[in-house]
């Protein structure tokens, strides 16, 4: 009778990442301590902590504006699209609260407009969005997605990042030329509270529009997976 020989499979011990994570946390804490105690710059320590927290959140959530617009067309997935709508809704509420508080406190609408950096809209908006969309798809990510993948070690994003910075510098230097060429009206900022007659109507319209896009994205995902 033929015997079946059993081979013992050696189980590899799981290498825990806890020591590595603990060392990283200690290193990050030491940098924050350096800013506070040695540089006497607590604001830099706060910015450092916020930056690390945002980077961790982006990496764990796989958050990317390019993927939010690209995935519904390529794969039918809309989780990131809906997440962006939720993020925009939260930002809308918070920025509106800050603007309203500034307006109530100072009575100056111009001061409130500085919160959120209200910019003019026009042909340059469409041209910039088109060019950025092409570049984002070719490079495989937006600004947040590129930075996240640089931290993860993606070689493509390590190549993209310096050219991202170079393009930004060139764009800023050439802005006067583009402004004149595209006839950008610097006073042509579209501000919903001015158009709709107050912060509350503007907030309602903005949130309704974002919720409608969220519902459309949810429907598209179910339709694609059906």
Residue with tokens 């699209």: 81
Q: What is the pLDDT of residue 185?
A: 67
The least confident of 5-19, 74-88, 139-153, 159-173 is 5-19
Query: Rounded to whole angstroms, how far apart are CA atoms 190 and 113?
Result: 11
| pTM listed for this prediction | 0.70
Q: Is the dihedral of CA 131, 134, 137, 138 positive or negative?
A: negative
What are the residue ranges spanned by the domains of the chain? Answer: 21-61, 62-118+191-226, 121-188
Query: Is the predicted pLDDT of residue 215 greater than 90, yes or no?
Result: yes
> Cα torsion at 43, 45, 49, 54 (round to 10°)?
50
CA dist 189 and 122 (Å) reads: 9
Return the top range by mean pLDDT from 4-18, 126-140, 176-190.
126-140
Tell me the percentage of the chain whose pLDDT exceeds 70.
88
With bands split at pLDDT 50, 70 and 90, how would you rate the model's confidence at 1? very low
CA dist 135 and 143 (Å) reads 11
Is residue 153 over pLDDT 80?
A: yes
Q: Are 51 and 57 in contact (CB under 8 A)?
A: no
Mean pLDDT of 128-149: 84
The tens digit of pLDDT for each residue in 117-130 reads 777 777 778 888 88
Look at residue 206 in the predicted model and tell me its pLDDT.
92
- 226 token code pair: 């059906």
> CA 215, CA 208: separation in Å to the nearest integer?
11
Q: What is the DSSP string of 168-193?
A: HHHHHHTHHHHHHHTT--TT-B--HH
pLDDT digits (tens, 9 = 90+) for 21-71: 788 888 888 888 888 878 788 888 888 888 888 888 888 877 788 888 888
């Amino acid at each position: 009778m033929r015997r079946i020989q059993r081979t013992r499979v050696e189980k590899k011990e799981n290498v825990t990442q806890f020591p590595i994570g603990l060392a990283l946390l200690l290193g990050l804490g030491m940098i924050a301590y350096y800013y506070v105690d040695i540089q006497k710059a607590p604001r830099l320590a706060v910015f450092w902590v916020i930056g690390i927290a945002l980077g961790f959140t982006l990496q764990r959530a796989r958050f990317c504006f390019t993927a939010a617009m690209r995935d519904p067309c390529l794969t039918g997935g809309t989780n990131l699209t809906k997440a962006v709508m939720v993020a925009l809704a939260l930002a809308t509420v918070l920025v509106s609260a800050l603007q309203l508080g500034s307006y109530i406190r100072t009575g100056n609408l111009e001061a409130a407009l500085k919160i959120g950096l209200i910019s003019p809209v026009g042909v340059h908006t469409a041209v910039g969005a088109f060019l950025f969309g092409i570049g984002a798809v070719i490079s495989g990510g937006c600004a947040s997605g590129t930075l996240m993948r640089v931290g993860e070690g993606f070689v493509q994003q390590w190549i993209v990042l310096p050219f991202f910075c170079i393009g930004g510098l060139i764009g800023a230097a050439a802005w006067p030329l583009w402004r004149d060429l595209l006839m950008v009206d610097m006073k042509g900022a579209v501000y919903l509270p001015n158009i709709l007659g107050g912060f509350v109507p503007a907030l309602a319209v903005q949130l309704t529009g974002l919720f409608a896009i969220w519902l459309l994205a949810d429907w598209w995902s179910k339709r694609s997976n059906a």
